[in-house]
Amino acid sequence: MIINIGRDGIKNSDKPVALIYFGRYAVNSWQELFYAAVKTLYIEYPEVINSLVSKDPLRELYLRTTTIDMKEPKRISTILYLEVNRTPLEIVKAIREIFQSAGILNINMSIEIVENDPPKKILPVEQPTIKPVIDKPSIKIINEPSTIEIPKPIENSTANILDVPSFMKNASGSIRPVGIREKYIEQMKFLANNYPKKLRSDAGKFIINRHVTLAESGYRYFIEEVEIGGGLSIEISFSDEELKEIADHYKKLFDH
């Protein structure tokens, strides 16, 4: 379901999956969406957003030049921070305020949401009628070793995570199972530390959904930047499928 920030209402129970603003940006929470929206708008209207810092005594936006009293600050610029620990209704209201301050009446920013289903009614379970047990002659049970083989747990399972390139496996071939995003960050930090020149030569070349995946640290168009070392950063505001595609690109580039 697509809702327009300027004219449609939202509920606190709605779950965002993407910010739509001259492109689609996958998000996992309202906090990620708020950060992506404000950082994107800061690129277009830096003076407007900077001016809102001094006009925000009631902390409607909660933009500050310091992280004091902030619970979950995110850096928007060198000295500007945004508090993202807000409710969905507060987040939408803050985004609208930025557009209004910029004189934008026709807001073309939207949110793709998933409506949470209402809780299902649990019907009472009918208790079965218990019949009396008729006494039977006791049977002697001979204790014998069980012949049933209990399967051993699968070690180092990599289900639902990125395929790990051979250069990231240890001598025994084992890995540490983590999530897709964490594994991608770990992979890129490894490459930046061990192959800095070759990795830097690919900066700015591989693009997914109109977004650069690797660039010099501080790249202004990154939405969710993670520094990996050697003056390089990666963009991680992609879906799991997109992160797999990016990881495969660098796997093929280095794993020969």
**What is the number of structural domains in the chain?**
2
Residues 86 and 176 in one domain: no
Residue 155 lies in a domain: no
Q: Is residue 208 part of a domain?
A: yes
Task: Give the span between the Cα atoms of 48 and 44, in whole angstroms.
Answer: 9
What is the rounded distance in angstroms from the CA atom of residue 93 to the CA atom of residue 207? 32
Burial zone of 58 (CB within 10 Å; 0-12 exposed, 13-18 middle, 19+ buried): exposed
| pLDDT score recorded for residue 52 | 81
Whether 173 and 236 map to the same domain: the answer is: yes
Q: Give the pLDDT of the chain (256 residues) as one tens digit per residue.
A: 898 888 888 888 889 999 999 888 999 999 999 999 999 888 888 888 888 887 765 566 678 888 887 889 899 888 888 889 989 998 998 888 888 888 888 888 999 998 765 555 555 656 555 655 555 555 454 454 444 444 444 344 333 334 445 444 444 554 444 578 888 888 889 888 888 888 888 888 887 867 788 888 888 777 888 889 888 999 888 888 888 888 888 888 876 5
The answer to whether residue 134 sits within a structural domain is no
- CB-count burial class (<10 Å; 0-12, 13-18, 19+) for 115: exposed
Per-residue confidence (pLDDT) for residue 120, from 0 to 100: 55
User: What is the span of the domain harbouring residue 188?
Assistant: 166-254
Are residues 170 and 248 located together in one domain of the fold? Answer: yes
Q: Is residue 157 part of a domain?
A: no
pTM of the model: 0.47
Does 16 reside within a domain?
yes
The answer on 172 and 105 residing in a single domain is no
The residue out of 47, 79, 114 marking a domain boundary is 114
The pair of structure tokens assigned to 10 is 């939202």
Pair (15, 98) in one structural domain: yes
Whether 215 is covered by a domain: the verdict is yes
In a domain, 123, yes or no: no
**Cα–Cα distance, 25 to 242 (Å, whole number):** 11
Domain boundary among 50, 79, 114: 114
96 and 197 part of one domain: no
**Position 145 in a domain:** no
The residue among 93, 114, 135 that closes a domain is 114
